[in-house]
Amino acid sequence: MQAQDLALVPKPVELKKQEGTFLLDKHTTITYAISLAREAEFFTSQIKVATGLDIKRTDTKTKQLIELKLDNTINESIGEEGYQLVVEKKKVTITAKSNTGIFYGLQSLLQLLPDYAFSRVNTNAVSITIPCVSIVDYPRFKWRGFMMDASRSFQSVAYLKKTIDLMAMHKMNVLHWHLTDDHGWRIEIKKYPWLSEKGAWRKQPNYPVKGEMGNYGGYYTQKQIRELVKYAAERHITIVPEVDLPGHSSALLWAMPELSCDSVEQQQHMQYFRDYPMRSVNYIRHRGTNVICAGKESVYPVIEDIIDEIISLFPSEYIHVGGDEVDKKWWSACPHCQKGAKKERLNDMDELQAYFINRVEKMVNARGRKLIGWDEILEGGLSESASVMAWRNIEGAKKSLDQGRKTVVAAHQGYYIQENQTTNPFHPQGWPRINTAREVYEFNPVPKGTTAAQEEKILGIQTSVWTPFMHNDQLLDIALYPRNVALSEAAWVDKNSKDWENFEARLHKHLKRLNYLGVAYWREDSVKIGSWQTNDLWKQQSVLTFDISKELTKPGVYFVLGDMQEGAELIVEKAIVLENGKQIAHDVHIGLISKEKNHDRIYFMDIQRVDKTAKYELQLQVKGTLGKVSKGDVYLLKP
């Protein structure tokens, strides 16, 4: 029996088959030191939710025992995050040096259980058999990360918790939270409340009323942030905040224009951006309306106030300050910046950026933290203590390593996952380059020519998702999974143990677990469930009904899509699934299906449980155009 047979993800360093099985039922108990109570509760609560079995704690030996043990004398090679898991016929033992190792051992134990152990509803299982195995496991990289962009699209606290849970399931340990950018300021700063009151909102086209502009946005209160930081820490995940400086600061400057360079033209372009934010990213980049003035001394106390509050909320070792894509032409034309550069004897605007970043780093260091930024912070010189996140290319990582810096590899060639992952026409809009799960898995984060000593400076790797097109939870799920699953293993296993075919076989089985968790991961196969033809659907709601009893065979998130064949556009307002006439799932939003352009045409049906004897119907509430024929087909993408 190998990891491939058991579908363990990430693959353990060492797995050996043993004879027999362990029975988990109402007689099973668990023993642990009080310091491990949180980790034990995580495991037992999941089992109770999925099966109804209530595993009680005991201080005595029983016939069916799960034991959690902290032991500093075990194999040194497993480090602080490693663990040993032994499943015997009468006992399960997880041993580690730290709570983190115990937690990861429990994650692997859960994956030894049947898929339904991940169910969100009670499956009423009275007993579960667990194969007897021996596992020794530990990670390759210290930083196994994922970056969530909250600025372009705003995620709910509930979705972020779901993301944290899935990261923990895959033994990822850093959530890089991109909280500010041109598109929105997402964090409450109590000293400057107008940052979120004004900078968190933008005008955005409201479909389907052409020309109408709606107000889009949101921000996280400091109470919500503390809640999320605590929630992540309980799952052994560190949240690293990013406040993007000095570029990508339109939202900040919209709220506090006095921090910009003195330029009427810049203010005019900033106004244009706020009116048309999602349409003008390239316009912004070329016209440069998003740069904080580096020459005004009044800028720095404000930044220090913001850093103060950020650090009070996030206990992370690193604070991310951005530093990328700074359009320095505004500095070249700004009398304040030119005066400041002359005063500090700086040779060019690259050195002015280095001056800016170094001042911010001193603020961070003075509060006991370390600065990390995108690889552009290398331009113009950088202090020896700053760390680098290389995104532009792998050469950026090499440059950072050549300077002896700790480096996180987040290169867009392999690890940007807002990009399309297929040419399938049903795939929702993403960035045009194709980046598959296989490319994420096989990307080599170690630059050519890197020495062994330099390789030790690689903190780790991370995926990043930029969210201009991911405006709901399911669209984010499609972008994240299964590519984040591929990243989790690439970050965990030794480079010589990576094997795409082996991983792909395990992934196919692992996706069944994600079905139970309600993850809308991308899938390729589609089935036609019916068609429509209508010519009288103007300003009135009509319902299209399709029998999907044969297609609903298992829990998971089903994708419903319309594909226009000819005629006028069709507007969909609502999709629901009925089980024996009772609604069990729905998705309400305005979607457009046409030959020219589709808008939000995917409807997501989260089915938590399937009764094979029931009748299932899909209903679409639609509108058409008076007197015009509309013809098309409806497809289901099944988990």
The model's pLDDT over 202-242, given as tens digits with 9 standing for 90+, comes to: 877 665 555 566 778 999 999 999 999 999 999 999 999 99
Given the residues 39, 115, 137, 181, select the one marked as catalytic: 181
Q: Report the pLDDT averaged over residues 123-152.
A: 96
Task: State how far the Cα of 598 lies from the Cα of 614, in Å rounded to an integer.
Answer: 33
Task: Count CA within 13 A, CB hemisphere, residue 309.
Answer: 18
- Considering 3-12, 385-394, 589-598, 618-627, the range whose residues carry the highest mean pLDDT is 385-394
More confident: 212 or 467 = 467
**In the 8-state DSSP scheme, what is residue 134?**
E
- What is the average pLDDT value for the chain, to the nearest integer? 91
> Considering only CA atoms, which of 571, 580, 575 is closest in space to residue 559?
575
Task: State how far the Cα of 269 lies from the Cα of 290, in Å rounded to an integer.
Answer: 9
The pairing of beta strand 387-390 with beta strand 407-409: parallel
pTM, whole model, 2 decimals?
Answer: 0.95
3-state secondary structure 460-525: EEEEEECCCCCCCHHHHHHHHCCHHHHHHHHHHCCHHHCCHHHHHHHHHHHHHHHHHCCCCCCCCC
* pLDDT exceeds 60 at position 278: no
248 is catalytic: yes
Domains of the chain and CATH, by start: 3-137 (3.30.379.10), 154-516 (3.20.20.80), 527-637 (2.60.120)
Q: Report the pLDDT averaged over residues 368-385.
A: 91
* pLDDT exceeds 50 at position 431: yes
**What's the pLDDT at 1?**
42
> Considering only CA atoms, which of 181, 186, 137, 191 is closest in space to residue 309?
191
More confident: 316 or 199 = 316
304 is catalytic: no
Q: Is residue 465 a contact partner of residue 418, using CB atoms and an 8 Å limit?
A: yes
Task: State how far the Cα of 317 lies from the Cα of 371, in Å rounded to an integer.
Answer: 9
* pLDDT exceeds 60 at position 14: yes
More confident: 504 or 379 = 504
> Considering only CA atoms, which of 63, 315, 322 is closest in space to residue 185?
322
Q: Report the pLDDT averaged over residues 439-450.
A: 97
**pLDDT tens-digit profile of 416-430?**
999 999 999 999 988
Q: Reduce the DSSP state of residue 197 to 3 states and report it.
A: helix
The residue assigned the tokens 């293993």 is 489
The radius of gyration of the chain from alpha carbons, rounded to an integer in Å, stands at: 26
- Considering 248-252, 257-261, 273-277, 291-295, the range whose residues carry the highest mean pLDDT is 291-295
What is the per-residue burial (b if ≥16 Cβ within 10 Å, else e) of 300-332? eebbbebbebbbebbebebbbbbbbbbbbebbe
Given the residues 170, 176, 248, 510, select the one marked as catalytic: 248
* pLDDT exceeds 80 at position 284: no
Q: Report the pLDDT averaged over residues 97-107.
A: 98
How confident is residue 275, by pLDDT bands cut at 50, 70 and 90? low
* pLDDT exceeds 80 at position 620: yes
> Considering only CA atoms, which of 408, 315, 323, 322 is closest in space to residue 369?
315
Given the residues 234, 325, 504, 563, select the one marked as catalytic: 325
596 is catalytic: no
The residue assigned the tokens 């996140």 is 389
* pLDDT exceeds 50 at position 39: yes
